[in-house]
Structure 1
Amino acid sequence: MGDIYGFSGPAGDPGGGAAAQRRRRRIVAWVVGLVLVVLGALGGGIYYLLGPGADKMLAESESEKPKWAGGITPGWMSEQVGLKVPGQATDRRAAYRITSRFDIGIFAFTLPRAEADAYLKPLHPKGSVWIRNFHPSKDDSRQTASFEHLGFPEPETLVKGLLKSSLCPGDTKDPNGVGLKRCVDLYAHRYSGERTRIYVRSYFEPGISPLPVAPTGA
């Protein structure tokens, strides 16, 4: 009597050996094919990362690094912001930095203290006040365009003699600021009894065109 749990293949092929072998060969072939596909994909990815893909990723990474534009002058920066610089101002310096999120323009200049006060006072809207900087800090996103690049101390790090404020288009009717094109941060540092250094910082949508000279360096 046959075993009800047994299996009998065709005559001459006990246990269905030939059919089982064919199934095993198909399974092995399928697994080998899958492995080859996976290895091919991995190889292509490795080639991309180590070959042209690496160059592309490096180029993209380099393009996202902040860069200082060359050829920036105080006059050009003043025109972009729309804030006039007094003709008698000395030690004028400016820079423009391109970042992956936004661009930042900075410029600074120095005036005798009395002339600086006369320049700044009418710029501000009625009722606005200057704020003293009591808490020096360098942990600020604005440091992506540091005035230290111009050779000046960073205004946020100064406490003694520093006043800060801001100004936006339409805030003033003073001739020096009536043409203001964008909001600016203003700092006035009375670094001596006779001299005041004025700092100006403003933000731009990426891609001012044309810049005076192509960006150089990070």
Structure 2
Amino acid sequence: MESSSKTTVGGQPVRRRRVPAAVVVVLVLLACVDTTIGVVSCVADDVSSDLSDQEMACCWEDGATPAWMSGQMGIRIPEAASDRRAGHKGGQRYDTGLLSFVLPADEAETYTGRLIRNGTKMIGNFHPEKKDYRPAAAFGHLGLPEPETLVEGLRKISLCPDELTTPEGKYLQRCVDLFTHGFEPGTTRIYVRSTIEPSMTPPPASKAP
């Protein structure tokens, strides 16, 4: 008696179903598309990162010394201030100025008290930005952390020269975002950011005060 090589169920031969060739082709194409999308996404991320790095490094003007920026903002730098830093970044619609310096904590408190209107208080950073926050004009260009990412010891306020008649506020030339950060016991860093008209170009670095 001959034996059959076909599998049977209940005495009936069972036919093995073949996957149609068209289905196989579609599955292969979908796999290729998925892989391609992944590659394109990675490339796009790299390009975006490169563009961001270029934008962050672009358009910083030489000659923007702390003394020059102080005059443009109307933020007077106390004589006791150390580690003075400044930057000026050109933009399409407006420029941005950065100024920073360090004071002993008690002198920083006195300085901000002479700048801010009576009855006005600086507030804490209750909604900090993420650590990788990169504003268009970053303090990172000056080798400093972004004050918007700091929480402990950070206070901030926005000021405009309109009717500001305090001892230091009367010199203010532009609206500014002011941050103070007690980054170590007894020491406070002042951060100031302001928009500046594009026509206000810093002097050449060799002639800057």
Do they superpose with TM above 0.5?
yes
Other-structure match for 1:177: 169
Distance 1:84 1:133, change over 3 A: same
User: Runs ≥4 in structure 1, deviation > 4 angstroms?
Assistant: none
Cα 1:86–1:68 shift into 2, 3 Å: same
Return the alpha-carbon distance in structure 1 between the equivalents of residues 146 and 163 of structure 2.
26
Residue correspondence of structure 1 range 142-157 to structure 2 within 5 A:
143-157=135-149
The reply to whether residue 125 of structure 1 matches residue 135 of structure 2 is: no
Residue 102 of structure 1, CA deviation = 1.2
Question: What TM-score results when the alignment is normalised by the length of structure 2?
Answer: 0.66
Identical-pair percentage: 48
Residue 66 of structure 1 deviates from its aligned partner by: 4.2
Give the match for residue 74 of structure 1. 66
Contact 2:174 2:194 in 1 (8 A): yes
Paired residue type of 1:163? R
Tell me if structure 1 keeps the 8 A contact 2:114–2:167.
Answer: no
Please state how far the C-alpha of 1:147 moved relative to its aligned partner. 0.6
Q: Whole-Å Cα distance in 1 between the matches of residues 64 and 134 of structure 2?
A: 19
Structure 1, residues 17-48: CA drift from partner, whole Å, max 9, x if none?
xxxxxxxxxxxxxxxxxxxxxxxxxxxxxxxx
* d(CA) in 2 for partners of 1:125, 1:171: 10
* Equivalent pair of 2:114/2:169 in contact (CA under 8 Å): no
Consecutive unaligned residues of structure 1, counting only runs of 5 or more, are 1-61
3-state SS in 2 of match to 1:72: coil
Of 154-163 and 119-128, deviating more is 119-128
Greater per-residue helix proportion: 1
Q: CA shift at 1:203, angstroms? A: 0.3
Q: Deviations over 1:112-140 (max 9, x none)?
A: 0000000001211122111100222159x
Length-normalised TM-score, structure 1 = 0.63
Q: CA RMSD in A?
A: 2.5
Contact 2:178 2:192 in 1 (8 A): yes
Give 2:66's aligned amino acid: P
Check whether the contact 1:170–1:178 (CA below 8 A) recurs between aligned residues: no
Choose from 199, 203, 207 the match for 1:212.
203
Structure-to-structure mapping, 1:1-218, within 5 angstroms: 66-137=58-129, 143-209=135-201, 211-213=202-204
Deviations 1:68-104 (A, max 9, x none): 0002110000000111010110000000000112100
Do 1:165 and 1:186's aligned partners in 2 also have CA atoms closer than 8 Å?
Answer: yes
Give the distance between the partners of 1:80 and 1:147, measured in 2 at CA: 18
Q: Secondary structure at the match of 1:149?
A: helix
Which letter maps to 1:147?
A: F
The verdict on how the C-alpha distance between 1:172 and 1:142 changes in structure 2, with shifts beyond 3 A counting, is: farther
State the AA in 1 paired with 2:155: L
Number of residue equivalences: 151
8 Å contact kept, 1:89–1:110:
yes
Q: Which AA in structure 2 matches 1:99?
A: G
Q: Distance in 1 between matches of 2:134 and 2:196?
A: 13
**8 Å contact kept, 2:125–2:154:** yes
Give unpaired runs (5+ residues) of structure 2.
Answer: 1-53
Provide the C-alpha distance between the structure 2 equivalents of 1:155 and 1:78, rounded to a whole number of angstroms. 19
Query: Do the aligned residues in 2 keep the contact of 1:147 with 1:154 (CA within 8 Å)?
Result: yes
